[in-house]
């Protein structure tokens, strides 16, 4: 937890540097909220149940819907844009595997109030800054646009109700399956190939020649703003699909190649959800970072985290100095020095052993004779060096 | 959330100063765990349900059982004592009221490995230090001992299976009900009065004359160690009962009188639970602080918390300087200065308005003419004073 809290703090501070404010929502919501956002199939993947009041509730599988619900309920009159971030547990009933747990932590942000290239750039820049701030070395940010495929599929006369299944196959690059579905709708092989070709298009701004003028110029503008912001480690990838219906334009993902199959560490895009939850339509851009997975990626890259031990471990030499030892440990703690004390009534050797177990930097040995001179023995736990220190000088030793 | 995270940080840092390490457990556990700890009646008060794999699971109503379960599962070989703390959500299906929510946050600590006065003192000292570190002015720590009543009730021939209901009435000071139950067991009025008298006993060490020698000398030792540790704002209260079976000796509570009826902010004591969960018997002392309730108490005492705004709000004067503005906001953020930027393409007046909405300390106004001289206009948002600043000097202005 020390490691987790440390990196959580870095992400939080990065988000605040970008002018985002933290929000939190309940662990469970009405099940209907997640069905409205993701369709009834979500029921197969979530923890949904009835409470004692026969309400249908579900442990949240993600945090965008809850945050937008909270926006509609209680923040819709706040000055826009709202720049919100969150950190918390989510739950999915799926087969657990490496970096994919039934209870997992997401760090995310939502920019509520506008749809334009500056908004999208702000979201992507924050995601990139967060990943970078953790010290992850190898990662890729890939930017696409859901409008491109939606337009091509509409041109090929794919009816809207068939879109989700086609997009899902394209998202997973399962082209044979996609070809079958498209064929059954009457889309010919040539049109299908053209669509597949687009989803394989990856590169710099030059690849945008392939797409319609409006989307092309939008993504060019976005990449230019990102470049001005110093975010240059991004690429255009028109194969970023992100199956869900509610995305309206730009979509992006980040991945850590070190993770192998489950390499996605971040996903997001511009969307509009508030009108589904009874609010007015408000354009937004958001993303979520998989906290457990990104920690795993850092581990795979060999990043080490050293737990800090206490500054001082107070060791009473005999039972008759335990009260003095208690006084001394409290003096240290009261000065903000982290200090522990033997409570097992162990002999000095075993206590010093335990002090080293809890990685104490110094042992403060409290003995009867030294106390008569208002002193204690301080032992450097790494070198073993010992010296007498007057109690009046003890606190300053740790400063 | 800014306020909550701030005080959460203070509590965390106090716990670390005492040599405690943070742990976390899942949001849900097997329902059986909580039944083993608290008896089957707990089912009436918790969120319990079946998952898709037909497991009986429950949202945790408290964190001691999960932490001890984790200790038995995976930490029983670690050097003792273990000094663990936690912070997280708990859930109870109860009527919500002021300071009492269905989802609520607990901060707590468990000292696993010993049963003695030093251990109990360490736990109480940490609880008191935590409450104090938040700046709460009015609070009371009351220390009792469950052994006293257990002994008296055993002497009065109350059978063990009737103990919980009697203790529950005594905990709530419902003496008429307690007298009825005791009467039905054959306990006479005099014996009952003697028991009630004990639960009304409050004061300093002098009140311990009323209790058996072993408990009396134990509590005297505890109060002496606490005094050495500087924890003097405690009183003996033999009426601290804490209904639950698993407490073995010392019990304590802290309350904030400002909260009225729901004034308890902390409760704990020494216990033994690990053997119930399949581990060896290990004595422990722990406590939990109601985070939401203590925040409410601070509010009632008039403590104010000021949200901090961003350091800088970057205001592009016209559309043709937006890219430069993006570059400038990123330069500030890269130097650790919190900075926001207009993404709504608003005119300068509205943007300055929004900058003041988000409590920006300075507006950094980016105009075409100033940029030609590598400068921007910086406006102090509280005084309204403006001055030209060279881009090279901008970062140092915020240091």
The CATH 3.40.50.800 domain(s) of chain B lie at 312-397
Is A118's CB within 8 Å of B327's CB? no
Residue B152, min C-alpha distance to chain A (Å): 30
Distance from C-alpha of B236 to C-alpha of B202, rounded to nearest angstrom: 6
For residue A244, what pLDDT is reported? 66
Is A49's CB within 8 Å of B52's CB? no
Residue-wise pLDDT tens digits, B196-207: 999 999 999 999
With contacts defined as CB-CB under 8 Å, which chain A residues touch B103? 26-28
Q: Which of A340, A393, A63, A102 is nearest to B29 (CA)?
A: A102
Where does the pLDDT of residue B161 fall: very low under 50, low under 70, confident under 90, or very high at 90 and above?
Answer: confident
Q: Is B91 on the interface with A (CB under 8 A)?
A: yes
Token pair in block for residue B225 = 């160690």
Residue A209, min C-alpha distance to chain B (Å): 23
| CA dist list (Å): A42 to A252, A256, B174 | 22, 26, 50
- Asked if the bond preceding B337 is cis, omega within 30° of 0, the reply is no
The bridge status of strand A312-316 relative to strand A362-366 is: parallel
**CA-CA-CA-CA dihedral for B172, B175, B180, B184, to nearest 10:** 80
Strand partners of residue B86: B108
For residue B340, what pLDDT is reported? 98
With contacts defined as CB-CB under 8 Å, which chain B residues touch A83? 340
Residue B181, min C-alpha distance to chain A (Å): 31
B interface test, pick of A7, A14, A18, A19 with most B CB neighbours within 10 Å: A19
The answer to whether the CB of B54 falls within 8 A of the CB of B87 is: no
Residue A10, min C-alpha distance to chain B (Å): 11
Residue-wise pLDDT tens digits, B237-267: 999 987 666 888 999 999 999 999 889 999 9
Assign B98 to helix, strand or coil.
coil
The answer to whether the CB of A121 falls within 8 A of the CB of A10 is: no
Strand partners of residue A90: A104
DSSP state of A71: I
Q: Predicted ipTM?
A: 0.95
Q: Residue written as tokens 């926001």?
A: B340
Strands (E), chain A: 21-22, 28-30, 48-50, 56-59, 82-91, 103-112, 140-145, 202-203, 234-237, 247-255, 264-271, 284-290, 312-316, 339-341, 362-366, 375-380, 386-390
Percentage with pLDDT > 90 across chain B: 90
Residue A49, min C-alpha distance to chain B (Å): 7
What are the phi and psi torsion angles at A244 (to 5°)? -70, 145
Residue A141 buriedness (CB in 10 A; 0-12 / 13-18 / 19+) = buried
Strand order in the sheet with B284-290: B21-22, B82-91, B103-112, B284-290, B264-271, B247-255, B140-145, B234-237, B202-203
The CATH 3.30.930.10 domain(s) of chain A lie at 2-300
Q: Which of A123, A156, A399, A79 is nearest to A250 (CA)?
A: A123
Is B26's CB within 8 Å of A103's CB? yes
| CA dist list (Å): B303 to A311, B8, B134, B307, B320 | 32, 16, 10, 13, 46
Distance from C-alpha of B64 to C-alpha of B280, rounded to nearest angstrom: 17
- Asked if the bond preceding A160 is cis, omega within 30° of 0, the reply is no
Q: Is A330 on the interface with B (CB under 8 A)?
A: yes
The answer to whether the CB of B285 falls within 8 A of the CB of B309 is: no
The answer to whether the CB of B143 falls within 8 A of the CB of B236 is: yes
Token pair in block for residue A220 = 């060019």
Residue A187, min C-alpha distance to chain B (Å): 39
Q: Is B52 on the interface with A (CB under 8 A)?
A: yes
Token pair in block for residue B323 = 């890219």
H helices present in chain B, as ranges: 2-17, 31-38, 64-70, 117-133, 146-155, 163-171, 175-185, 189-199, 213-228, 291-300, 322-334, 348-357, 368-372, 391-397
DSSP state of B74: I
Which residue from A91, A118, A343 is facing B122, i.e. has the nearest CB? A343
B interface test, pick of A12, A17, A78 with most B CB neighbours within 10 Å: A17
With contacts defined as CB-CB under 8 Å, which chain B residues touch A91? 27
A interface test, pick of B1, B3, B19 with most A CB neighbours within 10 Å: B19
Is B59's CB within 8 Å of A21's CB? no
For residue A161, what pLDDT is reported? 87
From first to last of its 399 residues, what are the pLDDT tens digits of chain A? 999 999 999 999 999 999 999 999 999 999 999 999 988 989 999 999 999 999 999 999 999 999 999 999 999 999 999 999 999 999 999 999 888 899 999 999 999 998 899 999 999 999 999 999 999 999 999 999 998 998 899 999 999 889 888 988 998 899 999 999 999 999 999 999 999 999 999 999 999 998 999 999 999 999 999 999 999 989 999 999 876 668 889 999 999 999 998 899 999 999 999 999 999 999 999 999 999 999 999 999 999 999 999 999 999 999 999 999 999 999 999 999 999 999 999 999 999 999 999 999 999 999 999 999 999 999 999 999 999 999 999 999 998
Which residue from A114, A322, A345 is facing B343, i.e. has the nearest CB? A114
Distance from C-alpha of B13 to C-alpha of B7, rounded to nearest angstrom: 10
For residue A243, what pLDDT is reported? 64
Which residue from A49, A230, A310 is facing B330, i.e. has the nearest CB? A230
With contacts defined as CB-CB under 8 Å, which chain B residues touch A363? none
Q: Is B230 on the interface with A (CB under 8 A)?
A: yes
Distance from C-alpha of A307 to C-alpha of A3, rounded to nearest angstrom: 7
Q: Calculate ∠ Cα B267-B273-B276, nearest 5°.
A: 145
Residues B117-153 as b or e (16 or more Cβ within 10 Å = b): bbbbbbbbbbbbbbbeebebeebbbbbbbbbbbbebb
122-161 in chain B: CB under 8 A from chain A: 122, 125, 129
Token pair in block for residue A59 = 């442990």
| CA dist list (Å): A294 to A18, A22, A90, A187, A301 | 20, 20, 15, 40, 11
A interface test, pick of B42, B305, B343, B354 with most A CB neighbours within 10 Å: B343
With contacts defined as CB-CB under 8 Å, which chain A residues touch B19? 310, 313, 338-341, 358
Domain B2-300 has CATH 3.30.930.10: yes
A interface test, pick of B3, B6, B17, B310 with most A CB neighbours within 10 Å: B17
Assign A265 to helix, strand or coil.
strand
Residue-wise pLDDT tens digits, B333-369: 999 999 999 999 999 999 999 999 999 999 999 999 9
With contacts defined as CB-CB under 8 Å, which chain B residues touch A50? 49
Is B333's CB within 8 Å of A225's CB? no
3-state helix, strand, coil in chain B (%, to 5): 45, 25, 30
Distance from C-alpha of B372 to C-alpha of B375, rounded to nearest angstrom: 7
Residue A343, min C-alpha distance to chain B (Å): 5
Is A103's CB within 8 Å of B59's CB? no
Residue-wise pLDDT tens digits, B214-225: 999 999 999 999
For residue B123, what pLDDT is reported? 98
Assign A157 to helix, strand or coil.
coil
* Direct distance between the N- and C-terminal alpha carbons of chain B, in angstroms, rounded to an integer: 26
9-28 in chain A: CB under 8 A from chain B: 12, 16-19, 21-24, 26-28
With contacts defined as CB-CB under 8 Å, which chain A residues touch B342? 118
Distance from C-alpha of B233 to C-alpha of A197, rounded to nearest angstrom: 74
DSSP letter string, A96-153: -BTTB-SEEEEEEEEEES--SHHHHHHHHHHHHHHHHHTT--S-EEEEEEHHHHHHHH
Is B344's CB within 8 Å of A125's CB? no
Residue B176, min C-alpha distance to chain A (Å): 32
What average pLDDT score do residues B125-136 get?
97
Residue B323 half-sphere exposure, CB side, CA atoms within 13 Å?
11
Distance from C-alpha of B224 to C-alpha of A65, rounded to nearest angstrom: 54
With contacts defined as CB-CB under 8 Å, which chain A residues touch B326? 118, 121, 225, 228-229
The answer to whether the CB of B245 falls within 8 A of the CB of B223 is: no
Distance from C-alpha of B128 to C-alpha of B126, rounded to nearest angstrom: 5
Distance from C-alpha of B335 to C-alpha of B254, rounded to nearest angstrom: 44
| pLDDT over 80 (residue B72) | yes
Q: Which fold has domain A312-397?
A: Rossmann fold (3.40.50)
Residue of B nearest to A27 (CA): B103
Residue-wise pLDDT tens digits, A54-73: 999 999 999 999 999 999 99
Where does the pLDDT of residue B98 fall: very low under 50, low under 70, confident under 90, or very high at 90 and above?
Answer: confident
Distance from C-alpha of B46 to C-alpha of B141, rounded to nearest angstrom: 28
3-state helix, strand, coil in chain A (%, to 5): 45, 25, 30
For residue A241, what pLDDT is reported? 85
Q: Which of B124, B162, B166 is nearest to B149 (CA)?
A: B166
Distance from C-alpha of B399 to C-alpha of B396, rounded to nearest angstrom: 5
With contacts defined as CB-CB under 8 Å, which chain B residues touch A113? 344
Residue of B nearest to A93 (CA): B52
What are the phi and psi torsion angles at A229 (to 5°)? -80, 0
Interacting residues of A259 by C-beta distance below 8 A, sequence separation 6+: A98, A99, A265, A293, A296, A297, A300
Is A1's CB within 8 Å of B17's CB? no
B173 versus A123: which is more confidently predicted? A123
Which residue from A17, A121, A324 is facing B336, i.e. has the nearest CB? A17
A interface test, pick of B90, B326, B350 with most A CB neighbours within 10 Å: B326
Percentage with pLDDT > 70 across chain B: 99
Residue A219, min C-alpha distance to chain B (Å): 15
Residue A2, min C-alpha distance to chain B (Å): 7
Residue of A nearest to B19 (CA): A340
Which residue from A17, A91, A357 is facing B338, i.e. has the nearest CB? A17
């Amino acid at each position: 937890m020390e490691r987790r809290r440390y990196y959580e703090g870095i992400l939080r501070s990065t988000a605040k540097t970008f002018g985002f404010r933290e929000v939190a929502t309940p662990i469970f919501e009405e099940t209907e909220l997640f069905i409205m956002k993701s369709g009834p199939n979500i029921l197969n993947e979530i923890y949904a149940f009835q409470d004692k009041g026969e309400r249908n509730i579900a442990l949240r599988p993600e945090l965008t819907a809850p945050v937008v619900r909270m926006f509609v309920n209680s923040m819709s009159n706040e000055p826009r844009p709202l720049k919100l971030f969150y950190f918390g547990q989510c739950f999915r009933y799926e087969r657990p595997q490496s970096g994919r747990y039934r209870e997992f932590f997401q760090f995310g942000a939502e920019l509520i109030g506008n749809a334009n290239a500056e908004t999208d750039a702000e979201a992507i820049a924050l995601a990139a800054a967060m990943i970078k701030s953790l010290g992850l070395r190898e990662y890729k940010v890939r930017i696409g646009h859901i409008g491109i495929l939606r337009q091509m599929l509409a041109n090929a006369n794919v009816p809207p109700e068939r879109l989700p299944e086609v997009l899902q196959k394209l998202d997973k690059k399962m082209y044979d399956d996609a070809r079958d579905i498209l064929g059954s709708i009457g889309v010919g092989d040539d049109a299908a190939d053209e669509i597949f070709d687009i989803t394989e298009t990856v590169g710099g701004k030059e690849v945008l020649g392939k797409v319609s003028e409006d989307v092309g110029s939008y993504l060019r503008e976005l990449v230019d703003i990102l470049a001005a912001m110093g975010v240059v480690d991004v690429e255009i990838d028109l194969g970023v699909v992100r199956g869900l219906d509610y995305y309206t334009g730009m979509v992006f993902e980040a991945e850590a190649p070190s993770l192998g199959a489950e390499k996605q560490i971040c996903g997001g895009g511009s969307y509009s959800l508030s009108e589904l939850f009874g609010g007015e339509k408000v354009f937004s851009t958001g993303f979520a970072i998989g906290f457990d997975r990104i920690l795993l990626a850092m581990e795979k890259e060999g990043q080490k985290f050293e737990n800090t031990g206490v500054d001082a471990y107070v060791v009473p030499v005999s039972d008759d100095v335990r009260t003095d030892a208690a006084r001394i440990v409290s003096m240290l703690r009261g000065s903000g020095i982290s200090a522990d004390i033997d409570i097992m009534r162990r002999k000095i050797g075993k206590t010093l052993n335990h002090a080293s177990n809890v990685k104490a930097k110094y042992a403060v040995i409290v003995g009867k004779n030294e106390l008569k001179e208002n002193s204690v023995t301080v032992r450097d736990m790494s070198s073993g060096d010992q010296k007498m220190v007057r109690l009046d000088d003890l606190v300053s030793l740790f400063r």
